[in-house]
Chain A
Amino acid sequence: MNSGNVILWILGGLLPLCAIAFFLTRNRMTHREVAGLEVFSRPGYYGWLSVIYIAAPAIFVALCFSALGLLHLYQTPLPMFTVGILTAAALGLAASVRLINPEKNARLLVEKWARGLMIFAAGISIMTTIGILLSVLFESIRFFQSVPLWEFITGTRWEADTAFLAGAGRGEEGAAKPHFGAVPIFAGTFMITAIAMLVAIPIGLFSAIYLSEYAPKKVRATVKPMLEVLAGIPTVVYGFFAAITISPLVVQAAHAVGLEADYTNALAPGLVMGVMIIPFISSLSEDVIHAVPQAMRDGSLAMGIGKAETIRHVVLPAAMPGIIAASLLGMSRAIGETMIVVMAAGLRPNLTANPLEGMTTVTVKIVESLTGDQQFDSLLTLSAFALGLVLLFITLALNVISTLVIYRFKKQFALV
Chain B
Amino acid sequence: MNETFKLDENLLRKRYRAEKRFHAYGIIAIGLALAFILFFFIDVLSKGIPGFQTVQVQVEVDYSQVVADGNYRRVVQKDLVHIASRGWMRTVPMQLRNHPEMIGTKETIWVPAAFRVNQYIKGNEGHGLEQKYQALADELYKQGTIRKAIDWHFFTRGDSKLPEIAGVGASLVGSLVVMFITMILAVPIGVVTAVYLEEFSPDNMLTRTVEVNINNLAAIPSILFGLLGLAIFINFFGVPRSSALAGGMTLALMTLPIIIISTRAALRSVPNSIREGAFGVGASGLQVVWHHVLPLALPGILTGSIIGLAQALGETAPLLIVGMMAFIPEAPLSIYQASTVLPAQIYTWSSDSIRAFGELTAAGVIVLLTIMLMLNGLAIWLRQHTSRTW
Contacts and interface: CB of A to CB of B under 8 A. Distances in A.
Direct A–B contact in the complex, CB atoms closer than 8 angstroms = yes
Interface of A: 2-4, 7, 70, 107, 110-111, 114-115, 117-119, 121-122, 124-126, 128-129, 131-132, 134-136, 202-207, 209-211, 213-215, 221, 223, 225-237, 240-241, 245, 275, 278-280, 282-284, 287-288, 290-291, 293-294, 306-309, 311-312, 322, 325, 328-329, 331-333, 335-339, 342, 362-363, 366-367, 370-371, 385, 388, 391-392, 395-396, 398-400, 402-403
A227 B33 contact: yes
Interface of B: 15-16, 18-19, 21-23, 25-30, 32-34, 36-37, 40, 43-44, 188-189, 192-193, 195-197, 200-201, 208-225, 227-228, 230-232, 236-240, 243, 245, 253, 256-257, 260-262, 265-266, 268-269, 271, 284-286, 300, 303, 306-307, 310-311, 313-317, 320-321, 336, 343, 346-347, 350, 361, 365, 368-369, 372-373, 375-377, 379-380, 384, 389-390
B221 A391 contact: yes
A329 B217 contact: no
Contacts of A312: 22
A250 to B, nearest CB: 15
Contacts of A288: 265, 269
Nearest to A401: B212
B193 A124 contact: yes
Greatest chain B CB density within 10 A among A235, A362, A392 is at A235
A279 B192 contact: no
Nearest to A114: B286
B284 A111 contact: yes
A290 B189 CA distance: 26
Given A118-B195, A237-B346, A291-B269, A231 B33 contact: no
Contacts of B368: 234, 237
B25 to A, nearest CB: 5
A-B pairs, 9 with minimum CB distance: A210-B26, A332-B219, A234-B314, A336-B221, A232-B310, A206-B29, A308-B22, A118-B196, A135-B231
B313 A207 contact: no
B240 to A, nearest CB: 7
Contacts of B257: 125
26 contacts: A2-B240, A2-B336, A4-B240, A122-B196, A132-B225, A132-B228, A229-B376, A231-B310, A232-B307, A233-B40, A234-B315, A235-B314, A237-B365, A280-B307, A282-B33, A288-B265, A308-B19, A308-B22, A329-B215, A335-B221, A336-B220, A336-B223, A371-B320, A388-B221, A388-B227, A395-B216
Nearest to B235: A135
Interface of B (DSSP majority class): helix
A203 B286 contact: no
A235 B256 contact: no
Contacts of A391: 220-221, 224
Interface SS majority for chain A: helix
B389 A290 contact: yes
A221 B380 contact: yes
Nearest to A124: B189
B380 A225 contact: yes
A279 B29 CA distance: 12
B224 A125 contact: no
A234 B313 contact: yes
B239 A207 contact: no
